[in-house]
């Protein structure tokens, strides 16, 4: 029989583990030797492991508690045991209005307050289906495919309970929204809907809840960011347009005047000339352009990268 006396080795580690109740790890022979001189079987077996099995529970009383805690955890295969939030969709429909700036479409349920068109998901309903349903039923907009904007998941954002909102963004002209006369966008042409829909300036939406105001702010920021690097990203202009028409649209979205020369240098590489011209009042006709295809833009980007190398 060989007696092991490994005093001092890893004693600090053992003390820390005991203090924190860390008894789940399988003991090494060094750990066992520190506790008691042990007889090691020369045949390769280890009677120290038998000793550990008999004494580990006494040495670490928290082990039994940890096993009990594990058993009390919810079964991860049963989702009904976990708390579940409601999921909502809300859509910011933005409208650039000539001479009046950027507006947002608001809807009214009839017995509440003005809000963005939105809804709680119904059983087995997909996000896109819920968005299309509430735009059709509340905003009278059909065949729309808004893009996902942002997920608002603050647990206390809705006073009705735990609601996660998947916000969407769509951009339309006043005519496409159904208001017709852009000079008076707040006026609903259909008297039956005059109290159910309206356009409001994006900088004046205090009648909305704080949650919906935040969605509008994020939507406006996203739209303006897109217009900084992309000509008419939502295709509001005709297929062929002049630089002046494009700049006027971007100014409405940005809410500020854009320097003509700087705007021209930024947008020309993203446009393709049509070889045609359009009259814009006094002066000579203006050249028209179309948006360059993604394929052409990627091809030019690859060529530029090759020249740099």
Q: List pLDDT tens digits, range 274-295.
A: 988 877 767 678 899 999 876 5
Rounded to 10 degrees, what is the CA torsion of 295, 298, 299, 300? Answer: 130
| Beta-sheet strands, E only, within the chain | 86-97, 101-107, 118-120, 147-152, 163-171, 197-201, 241-242, 271-278, 286-291
Burial bucket for residue 38 (CB in 10 Å: 0-12, 13-18, 19+): buried
Average pLDDT over residues 57-79: 56
Residue-wise pLDDT tens digits, 231-251: 999 999 999 999 999 999 999
* pLDDT 10s digits, 133-183: 999 999 999 999 899 999 988 887 776 778 889 999 999 999 999 887 554
Task: Tally DSSP H helices, then E strands, for the chain.
Answer: 10, 9
**Residue 109 CB partners (closer than 8 Å, separation 6+):** 115, 138
φ, ψ for residue 218 (rounded to 5)?
-65, -40
Question: pLDDT tens across 69-104, in order?
Answer: 555 666 667 777 777 778 889 999 999 999 899 999
Domain ranges of the chain: 11-72, 86-229, 237-309
Percent of the chain residues past pLDDT 90, beyond the cut:
44
Cβ contacts of 236 within 8 Å, gap of 6 or more: 96, 171, 172, 173, 249
Q: Which CATH class is domain 237-309?
A: mainly alpha
CATH of domain 86-229: 3.90.79.10
């Amino acid at each position: 029989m060989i007696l092991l006396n490994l005093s001092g080795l890893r004693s600090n580690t053992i003390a820390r583990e005991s203090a924190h109740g860390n008894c789940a790890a399988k003991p090494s022979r060094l750990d066992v030797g520190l506790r008691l001189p042990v007889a090691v079987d020369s045949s390769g077996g280890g009677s120290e492991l038998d000793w550990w099995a008999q004494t580990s529970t006494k040495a670490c009383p928290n082990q039994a508690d940890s096993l009990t805690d594990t058993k009390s955890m919810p079964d991860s295969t049963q989702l009904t045991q976990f708390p579940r939030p409601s999921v909502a969709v809300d859509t910011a429909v933005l409208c650039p209005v000539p001479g009046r700036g950027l507006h947002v479409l608001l809807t009214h349920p009839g017995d509440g307050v003005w809000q963005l068109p939105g809804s709680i998901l119904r059983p087995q309903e997909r996000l896109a289906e819920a968005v299309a349903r509430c735009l059709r039923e509340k905003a009278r907009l059909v065949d729309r495919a808004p893009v996902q904007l942002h997920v608002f998941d603050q647990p206390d954002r809705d006073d009705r309970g735990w609601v996660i909102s998947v916000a969407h963004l769509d951009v339309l002209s006043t005519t496409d929204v159904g208001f017709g006369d852009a000079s008076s966008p707040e006026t609903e042409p259909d008297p039956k809907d005059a109290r159910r829909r309206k356009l409001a300036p994006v900088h004046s939406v205090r009648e909305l809840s704080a949650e919906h105001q935040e969605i509008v702010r994020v939507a406006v920021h996203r739209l303006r960011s897109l217009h900084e690097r992309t000509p008419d990203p939502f295709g509001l202009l005709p297929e062929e347009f002049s630089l002046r028409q494009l700049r006027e649209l971007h100014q409405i979205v940005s809410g500020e005047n854009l320097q003509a020369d700087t705007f021209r240098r930024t947008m020309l590489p993203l446009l393709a000339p049509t070889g045609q011209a359009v009259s814009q009042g006094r002066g000579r006709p203006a050249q028209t352009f179309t948006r360059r295809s993604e394929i052409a833009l990627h091809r030019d980007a690859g060529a530029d990268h090759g020249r740099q190398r």
